[in-house]
Structure 1
């Protein structure tokens, strides 16, 4: 029999969180802000790093608080962390002229890096993140069943023809 399946690595889970956040941002921008069904939303590849690292941070918080605090309280903590993450990463990215978002046009913004108008969206997003993404990403396992048993794994090499 094969070895026991191993949990998905931190890098693998970070990738899932990055893709989830990136896709969610695209959907939000397209359907909520632009209200267009053409899917012409714009974002930055740097958002993948922001979402991936934030997802890993929220995962750690979830693991520490899941049995101590109720879901409502956890989502409030997640929302606060999202605001802190957005502000701090936005500040760093702005130093390099690479911050992909600017909330200066909103009434309740802080230096254009965060806006209170998105609080409900961040709260609902954190609820969905915990219940649909983090819980399932932590359950994912990698099995070695995909490896061929009788043949060595093929080697790929560049050769001159």
Structure 2
């Protein structure tokens, strides 16, 4: 019989596993945001969402750092203040990574056409979307990801040991 190994306590996801989930989340959200933006601005019913492979590193690392901020700030300040801090961090991170990528002609975004941009790397027009995204990231992505657990042992969490009374790996029902 395949049985749940009760002696193996579930363990939290590793930082690398959480980084991966955060990277995929950010990547997906960017594709969806750019598709929605294209629809709203150009009424393009094809919803062509775009991003860059750099977004995986940028979002994964940014959200992992926001996770650390959340753990340190959750008992010390309100959700409103935390989201403001996350939004400021996001602007700092977007500017820094954009500036670095621009040195290699690899920055995938350019906000130069926005009225309130700084060096084309960040724009104040995105303050509300970044604030809303930070709220969603804390309340749903980070909090739920921190609750995920791995089972020790076999990767799917099930023991391969057979018990007496089992046939072909399944419990015999009398």
Normalising by structure 2, we get a TM-score of 0.82
Instruction: Give the Å deviation of 1:147.
Output: 4.9
2:100 & 2:90 partners in 1: Cα distance? 15
SS in 2 for 1:34: helix
Q: Is the 8 A contact 2:114 2:125 kept in 1?
A: yes
Q: 1:117-158: CA deviations, max 9, x gaps?
A: 0000000000000001000011100013235336xxxxxxxx
Instruction: Give the Å deviation of 1:90.
Output: 0.5
Of 28-37 and 18-27, more deviation after overlay is shown by 28-37
Residues 92 and 147 (structure 1), Cα distance of their counterparts in 2 relative to 1, 3 Å cut: farther
2:132 & 2:161 partners in 1: Cα distance? 46
Query: Runs of 5+ in structure 1 lacking a partner?
Result: 151-161
Q: 1:56-108: CA deviations, max 9, x gaps?
A: 01000000000000000000000000000000000111111111110001000
Query: Is it true that 1:143 corresponds to 2:155 in the alignment?
Result: no
Query: Is it true that 1:98 corresponds to 2:117 in the alignment?
Result: no
Relative to its length, the structure with more strand (as a share) is: 2
Q: 1:35-71: CA deviations, max 9, x gaps?
A: 3342322210110000000010100000000000000
1:6 & 1:28 partners in 2: Cα distance? 34
Flag the structure with larger Rg. Answer: 2
* Map 1:108-127 → 2, pairs under 5 A: 108-127=116-135
- Which residue of structure 2 aligns with residue 4 of structure 1? 9
RMSD: 1.3
Q: 1:87 aligns with which of 84, 95, 104?
A: 95
Looking at both structures, which has the greater relative contact order when contacts are Cα pairs under 8 Å and sequence separation is at least 6? 2
Query: Is it true that 1:29 corresponds to 2:29 in the alignment?
Result: no
Moved over 6 A (4+): none
Aligned length: 150
SS in 2 for 1:42: coil
- Which residue of structure 2 aligns with residue 47 of structure 1? 55
Relative to its length, the structure with more helix (as a share) is: 1
